Amino acid sequence: MIVLALETSCDETAVAILRNSELLATEVASQIAEHEKFGGVVPEVASRNHLVHAPRLLERAAKAAKIEMADIDAFAATSGPGLASSLMIGASVAKGLAIGFDKPYLAINHLEGHLLSPFFGSDTGILPVSIDKHSLEGCATIEPNVSLVVSGGHTMSIFVRGVGDYQVIGRTVDDAAGEAFDKVAKMLGLGYPGGPEIEKVARQGDPTRFDLPRSMLDSDNFSFSGLKTAVRYLLPKIGVVSTGDAAGKMPAIQFRDDSVISDLCASFQQAVVDVLVRKTIAAAQKCSVDLVTVSGGVSCNGALRRQLRQACDGAGFEFKSAEPWLCTDNAAMIAFAASLRWQAGFESKVAEEIDPNLALA
Ligand code: KG4
Ligand code: ZN
């Protein structure tokens, strides 16, 4: 069985081809450079870039996989949640191919792609030398788990009973964790996306120096806007904030010494990690599962991976994280989810519309 998937929910155009348990091709065209100057994703720019990149990536993926489009058994695409004008491109291409080659179409929820990704490939945590050959052998069984999905658009804890059987336990009531990283990085004059930039600077920092809030600790839900505001109010007290220039460039900030910015990044990162770890463990205890998983862009963060693994060890849970290359948006996770859904008997109608607010459950 060969599945081709497209992922265009936000600012990455991605195509992947999966044959049974073998990933034949995975192509991602990042648009970071196009959006960086705006400090965030501009939907109109993103959809225009998807239109340019998608046909090239399809051709490249087929070439890398050494197959013809006619050999594909099913076409899949992310159908939500995400930016409407971006989702439309990938879904239209997949539907067109499905109709043209008279093959099934599978509409995949982006969050399902993330939450199943820890089951893709090995869970050794070792980055493969080449991402061309991932074996899914023995990994396609989805054990019940509590899944933390943390990305730029979402922060959710989910009780996963099996493929297609999900119950949302908690979600953010305001900013997503990745969004908080991105906004704080912007305030600090660091680059976009902010998560990796903050993590880099935080490595030299003292996470206990600044006492930042951990919000809504008694709730299943998450909130990160108070933390972001706390950083904003702290800035004038510890640094000099300029407003940036009219071209929308990042504000330039001067600190009295370098340790201030690294301590601030480390303290901010620790506040986010504390909340994510604590609530995930509480959700796992509530759902009586044996396994905790983490996925999504923010799960690239080393401090989060380390501390969540330690907390799981301490509380007696098994822990699985998506491999780092699978954490940020990609089409391999969509192809994997499509393949599992197909095996479980799901199929979509080509008339099915994309849904920017597509619910998981
Ligand atoms: O999953 P993803 O690629 O896109 C969405 O579905 O949103 O996640 C992107 C997010 C961005 O907010 C980015 O800042 C964050 O993931 N991110 C990180 C790290 N790498 C990416 N956040 C914290 N630490 C990282 N190392
Ligand atoms: Zn994502």
Q: Quick one: pLDDT at residue 52?
A: 94
Q: Quick one: pLDDT at residue 246?
A: 42
CB distance 239 to 254 below 8 Å: yes
User: Which residues surround ligand 1 with Cβ inside 6 Å?
Assistant: 10, 151-153, 178, 181-182, 193-196, 199, 296-298, 300-301, 328-329
Measured in whole angstroms, the distance separating CA 117 from the mean position of its chain's CA atoms is 10
Q: Quick one: pLDDT at residue 30?
A: 86
Q: Quick one: pLDDT at residue 249?
A: 53
Q: Quick one: pLDDT at residue 241?
A: 64
For atom 13 of ligand 1, the residue with the nearest CA is 195
Q: How many angstroms separate the alpha carbon of residue 66 from the centre of ligand 1?
A: 32
Q: How many angstroms separate the alpha carbon of residue 327 from the centre of ligand 2?
A: 8
Which ligand is located closest to the Cα atom of residue 334? 2
Q: Which SS3 state, helix, strand or coil, does residue 6 take?
A: strand
Q: In the structure encoding, which two tokens stand for residue 356, read together?
A: 């920017």
Q: Give which of 10, 278, 273 is closest to 170, Cα–Cα.
A: 278
For each successive 10 residues of the chain (361 residues), what is the average pLDDT? Answer: 96 94 92 78 89 96 96 98 97 98 98 96 38 40 95 96 96 97 92 93 96 96 97 86 50 72 97 98 98 98 98 98 93 96 92 96 85
Q: Give which of 332, 341, 306 is closest to 321, Cα–Cα.
A: 306
Contacts 24+ apart (CB under 8 A), 226-233: 227/180, 227/268, 227/271, 227/272, 228/175, 228/180, 228/183, 228/184, 231/184, 231/187, 231/264, 231/268, 232/187
Best substitution site from 151, 305, 334 to test ligand 1's pocket, by max atoms within 8 Å of Cβ?
151
